[in-house]
Amino acid sequence: MKKLLVAAFALTFAGFATAASLDDMVGTWTWEGFTIEVAKCDATGVCATVTAGPKNVGMEMMKSKLAPQGDNAFVGRVAHPKTGQIYNSKMTLKTADAWHMTGCTNTGVCASGDFTRVK
């Protein structure tokens, strides 16, 4: 009986053990009045273009390849959609429809926020 319970527990949580991939970022996202379209691209793995917002529409946000850090996170250099400043950022998958980003510029300005999937 104990083996059966252990097997059932393992099967229940097996889906949560998969690591996030760059493919999980592909789609349309919103953050504080901005809309960002993320697509696969050769230069950085994914490209993130500001498609709507109060400023910087058309700006490419990814400034380096994103490197995996653990199972559900990536690190890289990302431009802030509002200011265009480049942050040394960490993006962590919170859910299938939410990424948390945190980071700081080389001059010590820091920011964080959650990007929510539109589609």
C-alpha torsion sign, points 105, 111, 113, 117: negative
Domains belonging to the chain, first-starting first, are 20-117 (2.40.128.520)
Find the helix or strand (DSSP H, E) in which 40 lies: strand 34-41
Collect all residues with Cβ–Cβ distance below 8 Å to 37 and sequence separation of at least 6.
Answer: 27, 28, 29, 48, 49, 51
pLDDT band, very low/low/confident/very high, at 5 (cuts 50, 70, 90): very low
- pLDDT tens column, 76-118: 999 999 999 999 999 999 999 999 999 999 999 999 999 999 9
- pLDDT above 80 (res 54): yes
The predicted pLDDT at position 70 comes to 87
Secondary structure class of 30 (helix, strand, coil) = strand
Where does the pLDDT of residue 11 fall: very low under 50, low under 70, confident under 90, or very high at 90 and above?
A: very low
More confident residue, 30 or 10: 30
Spatial distance between the Cα atoms of 88 and 49, rounded to a whole number of angstroms = 18
Can you tell me whether residue 16 is helix, strand or coil? helix
pLDDT in the model for residue 6: 37
pLDDT of residue 15 exceeding 50, the answer is no
Identify the pLDDT of residue 19: 81
Mean pLDDT of all residues in 38-63 = 95
**Region class of 85: left (phi > 0), else alpha (psi between -120 and 50), else beta:** beta
Strands 67-68 and 45-52: unpaired
The predicted model gives 46-73 an average pLDDT of 95
Phi, psi of 92 (to 5 degrees): -120, 130
